[in-house]
Structure 1
Amino acid sequence: MTSTTTTPKTGGLVFTLAFAGISASIMQTMVTPLIPQLPRIFDTSSSNTAWVVTVTLLAAAVAVPIAGRLGDIVGKRQMIIACAVPLIIGSIICALAPSVLVMIIGRGMQGLGMGVVPLGVALLRDVVPPEKLSSSIALVSATMGIGGAIGLPIASAVAEYADWRVLFWGAAGLAAVAATFVFFKVPSVPSQAKGQRVDLVGAIGLAAGLVSLLLAVSKGATWGWTSVTTITLFVAAVVLFAVWGWWELRTRDPLVDLRTTARPRVLMTNIASVFIGFGMYASMLVIPQVLQFPTQTGYGLGQSLLQAGLWMAPSGVMMMIVSPLGAKLTVARGAKTTLVTGALVIAVGYAASLGLMGTTWGLMIVGMIVNSGVGLAYGAMPTLIMSAVPRSETAAANGFNTLMRSLGTTIGAAVIGVILSQVTTDFGGTAIASENGFRIALIAGGGITLVAAVLAAVIPAVRTKAAEPSQAPVVDVSTGSVGIPEPAGR
């Protein structure tokens, strides 16, 4: 059927969703400069303040797939605006926090709003014309990395030269502006899953399983991998996920359609996403530490936190530059090729790091190469997912894919943390990560991304033309009316 509408102005729409994504992703790294200061600020132990980071991870892991499913049922635009509410409230709570407990509550609220990016990516399928869809998906997907890379130096500067509470007031204002833009610029699209019920049992089961698993993975090194607490959490996660899977296969309107998730194209993309997440995060853990370690170690570069953030900022810019190139590659050769290429570029970055980690410029180049690969991969994964799922499940499927990436980063953080804690050297009577430890971590990151490239290479092709995301309905961004694009001539 020929489209009954046109889409003359999608640039502002894509910019709005990208801005909303950056606003949300900044929340993840903005607290990094404060971590060493938090025990002194709140007069508590470092083990207590570590929850300021952990709780955001846990809340996001639980909220993202649930927000995705609600987006399919009640509307993606509505859920993006809803996700901005905990971002704003959580930031205000953190800005006013008199104690670490209140700060943890606020950070947990911020984590609840992290569904903005996958919801925005899914919404693009409904409102952007086919010829602009790949580039739009690539840009909005890349905001997960862009926001983090840009947010770190900004947060470092504020933490060093102003009151730390300004960080959170600024975050609240940013989220409020993003929500306002979405309200006025993003059209409301009829829900493809309207009338389906919310799977509360499935949501509770998934939340319980994820909390058990991620707590065990993220805190295992601190509690001990063989401790009763860690083992109990791993066992609980296995049991809870088994029961959750049984329920999801039997309920009428599941939170996550496991039959769709088990389709080879979706399954292999999600597995590859875990490895991409691992590979990406290895550099984010190693590069800042090498930049900031004292020069007296013989391999540290003696940079301040602000300087380290500025050296890393170009990597975020590279994601913005590479995303349209990845979109062109996707149009020409397919999203699978783009994902394989992205994984290989990340691996090249790690290979280069072994010879460039001795200088600040060298590490900046490494970060730019690695994040170029991440930009390619992050733009390709949603396209692969949406080409294989029904339109009524796009937000839920993208939310689940985002969860897989987050699971990869969590596992990566745990594995790299173990490597750096075991391969150490003595520095002034204190055991610190050695140069060999950093090199092993970088080799691990490169090896994992090569595995991701192999997994991506075996992702099966789309079986039918109707499954392609290019066959999405188009919404006129001025009127909100819906039309179906005419099939491409091929």
Structure 2
Amino acid sequence: MRSVPALIIGALFIAEMTVTFEASMVYAALPTLISEFGDPMRVGWLVTIHMLIAAASSPVVGRLGDIRGRKRLVLVLLALALVGSVLSAMSTSFAVVLVGRALQGLSAVVLPLSIGIVRESLPEEKVPMGIGLLTTALGAGAASGLVLGGVIVDNLDWHALFWASAIMLAISIAAIAAFVPDRPGTPTRRPIDWVEGLLPVPAIALMLYAIGATKQSGWLAPQVLGMFAVCAVLFAFWARRSLRAEEPFLDLRLFRDRNFAVVNLITVLLGMGTMQIVYVFSAYMQSPGWTAVGLGLTATVAGLAKLPSNFLSFFAGPFAGWLIQRMGNRATVSAGALLAASGWIAAMALPDVLGFVIAMLCVISFGTTILQAALPNIVVATVPQHRTSEAMGSMQVVRGIAAAVGAQIIAMLLASRTVLSPDGGAQFPAPSSYLMTMGVMAGLTFAGAACAMLLRARETKLAPA
């Protein structure tokens, strides 16, 4: 089949939008699902299970794509997610819906595989722009999940959300099958060590679960410390086995490359910082007027206020690819981080005018999207082609763990100083809490810009196969 870059990117774009839509659509339906199943904690697992499965499977499935062929793995993942969507759409049992969400979580690994497909299928000069376009699909899918998901839930039964996801997945499968070339992977010279390959799965899942448990139990609770101890043992055993292997399934030696290590360090800082934009500003815009901070908007209006920044960010991904080709990695990452940080500094003024808040969202989102496009481009230019999806999957795990830690940090910052509601029934963050939160977000983002100085200034060629 003749490879047409526009059709390849178009098919992958649809798939990325779809998997991000199904990840975010549940947020719009949370109140309805809580009414259906009667327990906020149980319903919360519909979000948690998706996150756990996505993070834990990313490096392993990404590596399998490198070995077996990326297109066929994408089709398998989308098919499993389609089964999960249909299961959830046809059932009223919470257990079945939970299984469906777990299967949907596997589709999140499509991004690392898609970046590998872009690298192996497109001319070298088109790779940065292609990766930038895929990055914009993530924002578009998240926005459609929140907005379209809300419309569906408000006008139809919640099952319609999963039917919509199933339809989108079917379209994605057809597009990938028709337009993405099927290229063989790079088989290993030795039999796969499945013990070494699968050890990270329970370790990553347990770490994310332990971080989530700190919200109720605290960081020093015995059960939380026990889970972290088990994680440390599993990671240590895996690292020892991987580093001793002649041809490891997941190669920790990739971190010996300066650019790859620095990119992951920046990912940690940004995952805890500027990538928390939706969390921070959703809370800020919905903060009641009597708290003397925020805008007092409804959840629907707050979601709509985010749309202009989502639209503007659509152009940030390709712009990042253009910048990398002309200015190099270091300058592009620095520019994106400094732009986002400037938005967070402006937010420290705690504006109470919607137009100003939308403008800050646009600035922060544009800078953050540049970073989300630039960092994968640096990884692609650094690692061997036959390790591309594995490396991207590992970075996705790092980002997921950092985001989970960042969410807990923000929760603690917002709870540091509170004001009591007029009826005495609830506590809300005080202005000083939001000021401190915005300052921490700016500081973490500035730290990412500083770390960008450790990157090699320019990669003229992609890493050899």
- Which of 241, 245, 249 is equivalent to 1:247? 241
Q: Where in structure 2 are the equivalents of 1:353-392 lying within 5 Å?
A: 353-355=347-349, 357-392=351-386
SS in 1 for 2:182: coil
Aligned partner of 1:168 in structure 2 is: 162
- Do structure 1's residue 143 and structure 2's residue 129 form an aligned pair? no
Aligned partner of 1:469 in structure 2 is: 462
C-alpha distance 254-136 of structure 1, shift in aligned 2 (>3 A): same
Aligned partner of 1:111 in structure 2 is: 105
SS in 1 for 2:293: coil
C-alpha distance 131-238 of structure 1, shift in aligned 2 (>3 A): same
Aligned partner of 1:396 in structure 2 is: 390
> Does the CA-based 8 Å contact 2:136-2:316 persist in structure 1?
no
> Does the CA-based 8 Å contact 1:197-1:253 persist in structure 2?
no
- Which of 413, 432, 435 is equivalent to 2:431? 435
State how far apart, in whole Å, the 1-side matches of 2:417 and 2:144 are: 31
> Does the CA-based 8 Å contact 1:149-1:313 persist in structure 2?
yes
> Does the CA-based 8 Å contact 2:85-2:163 persist in structure 1?
yes
Residue identity opposite 1:450 in structure 2: F
SS in 2 for 1:155: helix
CA shift for structure 1 position 25: 1.3
State how far apart, in whole Å, the 2-side matches of 1:420 and 1:101 are: 34
- Which of 84, 87, 90 is equivalent to 1:93? 87
Residue identity opposite 1:258 in structure 2: L
State how far apart, in whole Å, the 2-side matches of 1:74 and 1:195 are: 13
- Do structure 1's residue 41 and structure 2's residue 36 form an aligned pair? yes
TM-score, with structure 1 as normaliser? 0.89
State how far apart, in whole Å, the 2-side matches of 1:65 and 1:80 are: 14
SS in 2 for 1:189: coil
CA shift for structure 1 position 462: 6.4
State how far apart, in whole Å, the 2-side matches of 1:6 and 1:184 are: 11
SS in 1 for 2:428: strand
CA shift for structure 1 position 365: 1.7
- More displaced, 14-23 or 188-197? 188-197
* Superposition CA RMSD, Å: 2.1
TM-score, with structure 2 as normaliser? 0.94
C-alpha distance 433-255 of structure 1, shift in aligned 2 (>3 A): farther
C-alpha distance 440-101 of structure 1, shift in aligned 2 (>3 A): farther
> Does the CA-based 8 Å contact 2:345-2:442 persist in structure 1?
yes
CA shift for structure 1 position 206: 0.2
> Does the CA-based 8 Å contact 1:338-1:380 persist in structure 2?
yes
SS in 2 for 1:432: strand
> Does the CA-based 8 Å contact 1:117-1:144 persist in structure 2?
no
CA shift for structure 1 position 112: 1.4
State how far apart, in whole Å, the 2-side matches of 1:383 and 1:48 are: 39
- Do structure 1's residue 325 and structure 2's residue 303 form an aligned pair? no
CA shift for structure 1 position 347: 0.6
> Does the CA-based 8 Å contact 1:353-1:362 persist in structure 2?
no
> Does the CA-based 8 Å contact 1:193-1:392 persist in structure 2?
no
State how far apart, in whole Å, the 1-side matches of 2:182 and 2:188 are: 13
State how far apart, in whole Å, the 1-side matches of 2:141 and 2:382 are: 28
Aligned partner of 1:19 in structure 2 is: 14
C-alpha distance 432-397 of structure 1, shift in aligned 2 (>3 A): same
Q: Where in structure 2 are the equivalents of 1:48-127 lying within 5 Å?
A: 48-127=42-121
State how far apart, in whole Å, the 2-side matches of 1:437 and 1:37 are: 30
- Which of 411, 417, 440 is equivalent to 2:405? 411
Q: Where in structure 2 are the equivalents of 1:298-309 lying within 5 Å?
A: 298-309=292-303
State how far apart, in whole Å, the 1-side matches of 2:170 and 2:189 are: 30
Deviations along 1:363-394, one digit per CA (max 9) or x if unpaired, are 22222111111211111111111222111111
State how far apart, in whole Å, the 1-side matches of 2:308 and 2:191 are: 45
State how far apart, in whole Å, the 2-side matches of 1:262 and 1:236 are: 26
> Does the CA-based 8 Å contact 1:95-1:168 persist in structure 2?
yes
C-alpha distance 394-196 of structure 1, shift in aligned 2 (>3 A): farther
**Identical amino acids, percent of aligned pairs:** 26
CA shift for structure 1 position 318: 1.9
Residue identity opposite 1:128 in structure 2: L
List gaps (5 residues or longer) in structure 1.
473-490
CA shift for structure 1 position 195: 5.7
> Does the CA-based 8 Å contact 1:212-1:237 persist in structure 2?
yes
CA shift for structure 1 position 54: 1.3
Aligned partner of 1:231 in structure 2 is: 225
State how far apart, in whole Å, the 2-side matches of 1:105 and 1:73 are: 28
- More displaced, 96-105 or 410-419? 96-105
State how far apart, in whole Å, the 2-side matches of 1:6 and 1:84 are: 23
List gaps (5 residues or longer) in structure 2.
none
- More displaced, 298-307 or 214-223? 298-307
CA shift for structure 1 position 162: 2.3
CA shift for structure 1 position 146: 2.9
C-alpha distance 336-112 of structure 1, shift in aligned 2 (>3 A): same
Residue identity opposite 1:446 in structure 2: A
CA shift for structure 1 position 470: 8.1
C-alpha distance 421-270 of structure 1, shift in aligned 2 (>3 A): same
